[in-house]
Amino acid sequence: MRHAAAVPGRFSIRQMIARLTPDRWGAATTAVALFVATPLIAVASIALTPAPDIWRHLYDTVLFGYIERTLILIAGLGLGTFVLGTGTAWLVTMCRFPGRGLFNWALVLPLAVPTYILAFVFTDQLEYAGNLQVALREIFGWRNRQDYWFPEIRSMGGAITVMTLVLYPYVYLLARAAFLEQSVCVLEVSRTLGKNAWQCFWQVALPLARPAIVVGMTLAMMEALNDFGTVDFFGVKTFTAGIYDVWLNMDNISGAAQLASVLMIFVVVLVVLERMARRGQRYHHTSSKIQALPSYQLRGWRAGLAVAFCALPVLLGFVLPASVLTSYALTFFDVTLKANYLTITLNSILLSASAAVAAVAIGLVLAYGLRMGEGPLPRAAVRFASIGYAVPGAVLAIGVIVPMAALDNTIDHFSERVFGISTGLLLSGTVVAILYGYLTRFLALSFGTVEAGLGKVSRNMDGAARTLGASPLRAMSRIHFPLIRTSLLTAGLLVFVDCMKELPITIILRPFGYDTLATFVFQYASDELFEESALGALTIVAAGLIPVVILALTTLRSRPGHGAAAGGNIGGRA
Amino acid sequence: METKKPQIHRLLTAGLAAVAAATAALTSATWAKAADTEVNLYSYRQPFLIKPLLDAFTKDTGIKVNVVFAKKGMLEKIKAAGDNSPADAVLTVDIGRLYALKEAGVLQSIKSDALNKNIPAHFRDPDGMWYGLTARGRVLLLSKDRIKPGSIKSYEDLTKPEFKGKICTRSGKHPYNVALIASMIAHHGEEGAKKWLEGVKANLARKPQGNDRAQAKAIYEGVCDIALSNNYYMGKMMTNEKKPVQKKWAAAVTLTYMNQDGRGNHMNISGAAVTKSAKHKDAAVKLVEFLSSDEAQKIYAEDNHEYPVKPGVPRSELVQSWGDFKADTLSLEKIAKLRPAASRLVDKVGFDDGPGS
């Protein structure tokens, strides 16, 4: 077949096919993206159903408050995750100080802690009756609230702090990977030009890592936008709190969907703006000369500061909640054990693992599809599909259930008419619905990670493979797949950890008698009995630990030119 | 390239088969439950709370109850599934959900002598769509040390200037507070209720936050002297052996019924309803009837310190110790209808922004 090109007639056909091929890829990509985006489209269409107008009332009263608090929240969170994530990533990749090897992976640990659990633990410890204030009162002899000032934990500051501590690992992981990948030449050249460590960071390393850092910050901010549990707990009325209020207190699901649609538009605008700001600045590694990174040796107070800076988020974001949960678990473990502990743990793990595999597969298809088939339509469709992460979970669940139940009912009516058999709810009454919800919610994680990995594979590789006669699928399996294995693993593990923690979609879409660790914990937490379910909560954290540690170690090993021998002393001056 | 094709086909076939098998396995669980020895319950109440009741029901009737618990999205789930919805019955707290289900047209009217006999008329829907199972009062908890008994006798008194900086409550948007505000609208009109809510806001000690128990705790800690709470939380704190500190919170306050010289204390209900699409309608009706029976009403009273709706069923000893009280008999449907207006009022007043905003 390879020689068929010599026949003039077939040559033109081949050309036509070649010209058509991208379209086919584009069409397929668009179709898959729309499949994932269907719940979002459903939410938008619910918004169009007639309902009493809510905007006049909101505009007159709380709308600007919602917007203001939401903006403050994501700005604070963005800043917090940037400082913590990028700062720690730079320290552990580029500097040498005591405990660096430990921090290297320990800094990812808070990712395994669900935000609502950290929120609870923080309040439990920091409020007036919490251990800290009790101790302070004892030490200083204060008797009541009037004797001293202490910050109110149930506040915007509390919400930003808690979310930052749980979400900075996204930025840390991505920034660290970016720093590790940077060609040593760039850094050495900048040093040769007389830049000090500080200038190297601000003027060279940071701009080079910007796309990765922005992806991490975007994920964190989207998570904050969809959050209800934490902001509700802290009494911070954000836009999402408003969505739930209109839905449940004003009995106006259509109005709630309108608000949710505005939220989606807001996210799209943010993403587009960031991309426009970055346009024209393309970051390529002009040199592929890579060796173990040179590092700065920190001593004295500088080393102490570095240790403190890295230890703080690990202690507050992981050690504190894990130990508080452990102490409650020791008291109340019987409640969890009585409740089919093994089954719900297994449910959580199986569900999250299936979702991870499915999300990575879809993410790979979309990322590869975009690579093969250029064009604005598939690109837009994929971007749209990945904003599901910013949509409040319960609203997204309604977006899943409406089209899925409609499909089920159509099949049922058809089968009833033709075969006389009722099929009932084939999909929407099963865990398939939850998986679909997860897929839409976490596409930003899976697709984003895979796309980033694929982006690093030079297109010359594709060209070479195709020239040698490999089909796109073969090129993918033989060339791309091995090269982006780490990215795929990272994507899968991130989705897994997030699914373990996921609550609103699971609780609405699960079938009878089906519980996960998160829904189990919620059952108690919603009746003000969180401590009783501490073992369940602790298991969520523990189950998240394994993938999180794998994550930390693989990104480390993935560094090109970084042999196994160097594994122990990364960054040792070569 | 030709050799690749069959391989891909085989792969596709295998994949499709796997998906089909998985789907069959996943759905078969719900399929098998077609027999009438079961009933499917959507519950807004936590399964561990209602388990003793459901176990007793199964023991009496041999009917197994499958439960799924959620606080949001149930209505939309039932509505979307239409005739195929697996839910036979719904169990809720707060009148708002029951009313919303009725308005959405997903409930069916039940005619049952047992239910009409067990449940007083003002605790059930005039059309027989929903039935109240327990009543709960929104009461005041007053600091034993700092509030003189008798100095606050009605919800209206909460706006008195002497209580400035002394009131604690959870969010004004919480269904329990929304229902209370709706009842204020019913009694005083929207303008009157707005003035009242502004007055309460001006007297708040802190930004509305936390749950009902947290308000008792705040009084114990000296943050405030007066708190709004549902009555049964008091019972739960007083009997909390696992967290004895809550007994101290409860010991710091006196439970006080409101408006005893007038219309009576504001009440809300938890209740149940049978869905329009119920496949196990008989079993569902049996379940609701059982929940209104002496046996179940007693469990509600003892375990949860709520008021049984069935006349003659004794309240728990603890609840009895708070004495008899007069309940506001305002129609629950009226309260439910006024909820959106009440919720908007919370926005207009900026209640959740706290005092001094």
Amino acid B146 reads R
Shared domain for B171 and B115, answered yes or no, is no
Q: Is B171 on the interface with A (CB under 8 A)?
A: yes
Q: Is B282 on the interface with A (CB under 8 A)?
A: no
CA A547 to chain B, closest CA, distance in angstroms equals 26
Instruction: Please indicate, yes or no, if residue B308 is contained in any of the structural domains.
Output: yes
Residues forming a β-bridge with B38: B64
> What is the 3-class SS of A484-536, one letter each residue?
CHHHHHHHHHHHHHHHHHCCHHHHHHCCCCCCCHHHHHHHHHCCCCHHHHHHH
CATH code assigned at B68: 3.40.190.10
Of A128, A154, A427, the CB nearest to B221: A128
Taking the C-alpha atoms of residue B6 and residue B87, their distance in angstroms, rounded to an integer, is 45
Q: DSSP state, A6? A: G
Total structural domains within chain B: 2
Backbone φ, ψ for residue B93 (5° rounding) = -110, 155
Q: How many CB atoms lie within 10 A of CB B337?
A: 17
Beta strands in A84-224 (DSSP E): 95-96
H or E element at residue B23: helix B4-31
Tracing tokens 């109005």 back to the chain, one arrives at A255
**Per-residue pLDDT for B340 more than 90?**
yes
Shared domain for B212 and B277, answered yes or no, is no
Shared domain for B44 and B112, answered yes or no, is yes
Q: Is beta strand B89-93 parallel, antiparallel or unpaired with respect to B38-43? A: parallel
Instruction: Please indicate, yes or no, if residue A482 is contained in any of the structural domains.
Output: yes
Q: Which pLDDT value is given to residue A44?
A: 93
Check residues A573 and B121 and name the one with the higher pLDDT: B121
Instruction: Please indicate, yes or no, if residue B318 is contained in any of the structural domains.
Output: no
Instruction: Please indicate, yes or no, if residue A425 is contained in any of the structural domains.
Output: yes
Instruction: Please indicate, yes or no, if residue A141 is contained in any of the structural domains.
Output: no
Q: Which two tokens stand for residue A249?
A: 């207190």
CA A169 to chain B, closest CA, distance in angstroms equals 29
Q: How do residues A436-461 score in pLDDT, each as one tens digit?
A: 999 999 998 999 888 888 877 777 88
Q: Which of A528, A531, A533 is the best residue to mutate to test the B interface, defined by the most B CB atoms within 10 Å of its own CB?
A: A528
Instruction: Please indicate, yes or no, if residue A41 is contained in any of the structural domains.
Output: no
Q: DSSP state, B62? A: -
Shared domain for B250 and B152, answered yes or no, is yes
Taking the C-alpha atoms of residue A184 and residue A295, their distance in angstroms, rounded to an integer, is 11
Taking the C-alpha atoms of residue A464 and residue A466, their distance in angstroms, rounded to an integer, is 6
Smallest CA-to-CA distance from B48 within A509, A230, A340, A537 is with: A340
Shared domain for B188 and B127, answered yes or no, is no
H or E element at residue A159: helix A156-181
Shared domain for B83 and B208, answered yes or no, is no
Instruction: Please indicate, yes or no, if residue B5 is contained in any of the structural domains.
Output: no
Shared domain for B193 and B329, answered yes or no, is yes
Taking the C-alpha atoms of residue A535 and residue A282, their distance in angstroms, rounded to an integer, is 48
Shared domain for B159 and B297, answered yes or no, is no
Instruction: Please indicate, yes or no, if residue A127 is contained in any of the structural domains.
Output: no
Of A234, A473, A512, the CB nearest to B40: A512
Instruction: Please indicate, yes or no, if residue A467 is contained in any of the structural domains.
Output: yes
Q: How do residues B137-196 score in pLDDT, each as one tens digit?
A: 999 999 999 999 999 999 999 999 999 999 999 999 999 999 999 999 999 999 999 999
A236 Cα distance to chain centroid: 22
Q: How many CB atoms lie within 10 A of CB A534?
A: 26
Contact predicate A440/A40, CB 8 Å:
yes
Instruction: Please indicate, yes or no, if residue B3 is contained in any of the structural domains.
Output: no
Q: Which residues, given as ranges, of chain A have pLDDT below 50?
A: 1-9, 22, 286, 561-574
Taking the C-alpha atoms of residue A253 and residue A259, their distance in angstroms, rounded to an integer, is 10
Total structural domains within chain A: 1
Q: Which residues of A touch B26 (CB under 8 A)?
A: 430-432
What number is the ipTM of this complex?
Answer: 0.83
Q: Which two tokens stand for residue B167?
A: 């009131």
Check residues B23 and A116 and name the one with the higher pLDDT: A116
Taking the C-alpha atoms of residue B158 and residue B225, their distance in angstroms, rounded to an integer, is 12
Handedness of CA A155, A161, A166, A171 (dihedral sign): positive
Tracing tokens 């006080």 back to the chain, one arrives at B256
Q: Which residues of B touch A513 (CB under 8 A)?
A: 66-68
CA A475 to chain B, closest CA, distance in angstroms equals 13
Instruction: Please indicate, yes or no, if residue A64 is contained in any of the structural domains.
Output: no
CATH code assigned at A422: 1.10.3720.10
Of A397, A409, A429, the CB nearest to B82: A409
Amino acid A228 reads F
Q: Which pLDDT value is given to residue A421?
A: 83
Taking the C-alpha atoms of residue A556 and residue A100, their distance in angstroms, rounded to an integer, is 13
Shared domain for B348 and B220, answered yes or no, is yes
Q: How do residues B25-43 score in pLDDT, each as one tens digit?
A: 444 444 444 446 899 999 9
Q: Which pLDDT value is given to residue A284?
A: 52
Instruction: Please indicate, yes or no, if residue B14 is contained in any of the structural domains.
Output: no
Q: Supply the mean pLDDT for chain B.
A: 89
Q: What percent of chain B has pLDDT over 90?
A: 77
Instruction: Please indicate, yes or no, if residue B294 is contained in any of the structural domains.
Output: yes
Question: What is the rounded (10 degree) CA torsion for A275, A278, A281, A282?
Answer: -40
Smallest CA-to-CA distance from B156 within B178, B133, B140, B135 is with: B140
- Interchain pair B103, A61: CB under 8 A: no
Shared domain for B203 and B337, answered yes or no, is yes
- Interchain pair B84, A412: CB under 8 A: yes
- The parent domain of residue A432 ranges over 340-514
Phi-psi bin for A493: left (phi > 0), alpha (psi -120 to 50), beta? alpha
Shared domain for B222 and B115, answered yes or no, is no
- The parent domain of residue B149 ranges over 137-266+324-353
Instruction: Please indicate, yes or no, if residue A506 is contained in any of the structural domains.
Output: yes
Smallest CA-to-CA distance from B55 within B343, B220, B262, B296 is with: B296
- Interchain pair B71, A526: CB under 8 A: yes
Instruction: Please indicate, yes or no, if residue B151 is contained in any of the structural domains.
Output: yes
Taking the C-alpha atoms of residue A156 and residue A233, their distance in angstroms, rounded to an integer, is 11
Taking the C-alpha atoms of residue B161 and residue B164, their distance in angstroms, rounded to an integer, is 6
Contact predicate A97/A303, CB 8 Å:
yes
Shared domain for B208 and B329, answered yes or no, is yes
